[in-house]
Chains A and B, each alone.
Chain A
Amino acid sequence: MGLDIQSDALFDQYRTYCQQTGTEPPIETEAIHYLKGLKTLSVHDLLTAARSKGDVLVQPRCGVGEIAAMTQLLETLSSKGHADILTLTIDAYTRLLQLEKVSDLATNEPDSLNGFPLLSHGWQKTRQMCASFNAPCQVRHGSPDPRLLFAATVASGITSFEGGGLSYNIPYSKDTSIKDSLRYWQEVDTYSGNLAKQNIIVDRELFGTLTAVLIPPCIALAITMIEAILAAREGVKCISIAYPQSGNLSQDVAALNCVTTLARAFLPPDVDCFPVLHQFMGVFPQARHNAEALIVLGSITARLGNATKVINKTYQEAAGIPSSQANVDGILLSKTANSWLYDLLPVPIDQIEEEQAQIYSEVLELLAPILDRDLSHDAISDAFATGELDVPFSANSSLHSAVIPARSSSGGIYISDFGNLPFSEKTKAFHRARLNTERSDATDMAAISRDILYLATETTATAAPQLS
């Protein structure tokens, strides 16, 4: 994994890639001129406006292999769903730089791809496609080495790019070293910082969802806060921190509130930081009424947690990539986050404040050892090597993944086995108390599976009353 790219040649490497694949290479000065001349609002503009108005923006995921179909999909989500921000979700082969494979499939079987192959279609077609919509686009992917894709994104006229050196390595790569992915993503952040000096603000969204299953809030926030501090050091001015809905309202609202307080504590004041909620990313209910109830719960959570943006799910989540109509339905349902009627719900303020104080102190405990070493790449890499930083169910085999999460009786996500996390006894006692009962041991697979499937539990729909 990882291309041989010199640190100062991110854009040049993409030009070389274009030459090798027979497409016209972009000219960097022209690309920057194009970005400066964009008439539509950027993602950063929209996030800033939404925050000032107290709105929650709604953004779907979407990506298909064929460019005409992708254009049609974006058109549908834009015109029927009124998506605030559009997405180019990149296919799995491009993410992992399996470029020959994706080139072949993009040419011969584009329908078989699970996302949009931006590198194969190239920056010109992608720019043309994105320019036909008023809503700005974001590139969402999962690349440990994102440099080619980032340069193609910039050349395509897109200024919102998801991922980070930890959050796009740990869930997405088996063997990319932490140091390597931090270096690759540092180049993205440096380039974004240089664009910021030219008044082109790139929104860098950090993927706190991680492995998407039973992620304790403190881990999601510690990992993304490390990435945020590193990005800010490179001059990035717009950082979105995404947190995955656990399903427990108090815990989720507390975690979203923590994004703002942590940003205030650790990021320079000239960096705009926005909390983003990912609607539930784990195993979804199959029945439509349960799936949509979970989406509504996500919308309520986003509003109460003052998220600036929510990434929506659809009622087809359990079955695979949704149809465009299902995605439209998911967007519209998620837009209920902007209804004042949710303010009529009673809010468990005491519970939220207690959780918020606890999550905040846990993040500080996780960050303290590496902050002592100035958050260097070596310090971060060493922390993962010792297990002081850890993520459950990591795809990257270099992590310990010794942390075992569990759900409390009220559905909150806590930690039943701490591995080597540097938690105080007070923090450990809090988690034990929340979980109430000790697991028999960490090999209790039935309990872990039950916790994973917690929100996918189906209930029988009550028959709607008939009007006579």
Chain B
Amino acid sequence: MSEISKLEVWQTATHLELDKGAPIVILAVAPSDVHVVANQIIAAQLRVKGYKVINLGAATPLQEVIETWQSHSDVLAIAIGSVNGHALQDLCDLPKLKQLYQVTCPIIVGGNLSIGAEKDGSEGQKLKDIGVDYILTDVTQFFDILDQLKNSKNRSERPSHGGTHEFDHAQSLAV
């Protein structure tokens, strides 16, 4: 890994100069949520690992997330953090926006996905039903998923394999 400065690691600016070829990950915190500590640390960890991160930060409207995806080609994944329990309410427009913008990028959601300390276990499925591809129960899963997406992408881009840019989400680490 090349040398990376503190400023580059902790850079929270929305629009970074992106190196060609590095995998791009869009991070955001859900529209009503301002819990950014994990978001910032994950962003920093991804930068150390060589990803190019566009971190939209706290309380980002879903449409802004999707438009950011649209304005950058070759985004590996969109990851949205939600800690305040409003994940389902905050992402309820996802089906409409995915269709409107023809989103082909995997969408990952992690955090505390419903209010209340006692969960009924249905939160993840409800989010998948509205178009979330991966639900995280642990941050380490995130890095595994990204690695897998990156590897799938690399394989599919090799001409000899004749692959496509489609990912088989079902076969991966979704939980």
Contact = CB atoms under 8 A, between A and B. Distances in A.
Contacts of A326: 117
B54 to A, nearest CB: 13
A401 B59 contact: no
Interface in B95-133: 112, 114-119
A431 B73 CA distance: 45
A115 to B, nearest CB: 9
B37 A92 contact: no
B22 interface: no
Contact of A441 (B6, B13, B36, B45): B6
A319 B9 CA distance: 30
B36 A320 contact: no
Nearest to A214: B37
Contacts of A171: 34
Interface stretch (A22-30, A186-194, A364-372, A445-453): A445-453
A443 B7 CA distance: 9
A113 B114 CA distance: 10
A96 B59 contact: yes
B32 A93 contact: yes
Contacts of A322: 117
Contacts of B57: 174, 395, 397
Contact of B88 (A112, A172, A445): A112
Contact of B41 (A316, A320, A448): A448
B44 interface: yes
Contacts of A396: 58
Contacts of B84: 92, 114
A193 to B, nearest CB: 29
A67 interface: no
A57 B13 CA distance: 42
Contacts of B85: 114, 320-321
A402 B117 contact: no
Contacts of B10: 401-402, 442
A173 interface: yes
Contact of B89 (A105, A213, A397, A449): A105
B81 to A, nearest CB: 12
A118 to B, nearest CB: 16
A98 interface: yes
Given A112-B86, A448-B41, A452-B37, A397 B117 contact: no
A211 interface: yes
Interface in B37-76: 37, 40-41, 44-45, 48, 57-60
Question: Which of the listed residues A92, A93, A171, A445 has the most CB atoms from chain B within 10 Å of its own CB?
Answer: A92
B37 A213 contact: yes
Contact of A320 (B14, B34, B115): B115
A321 B36 contact: no
Nearest to B42: A445
Interface string B137-161: 0000000000000000000000000
Contacts of B117: 316, 319-323, 326
A320 B36 CA distance: 17
A412 interface: no
Interface string A100-114: 010001000100111
A299 B10 CA distance: 35
A320 B40 CA distance: 21
Interface string B22-37: 0000000001111011
Nearest to B33: A92
A417 interface: yes
Contact of A98 (B9, B13, B32, B114): B32
Interface string A77-104: 0000000000000001100101001000
5 contacts: A112-B88, A173-B34, A174-B57, A320-B116, A443-B6
Interface of B: 4, 6, 9-10, 12-14, 31-34, 36-37, 40-41, 44-45, 48, 57-60, 84-86, 88-89, 112, 114-119
Given A173-B34, A321-B116, 5 more contacts: A174-B60, A321-B85, A402-B10, A404-B6, A452-B37
Interface of A: 92-93, 96, 98, 101, 105, 109, 112-114, 142, 171-174, 211-213, 316, 319-323, 326, 393-397, 401-402, 404, 417, 441-443, 445, 448-449, 452
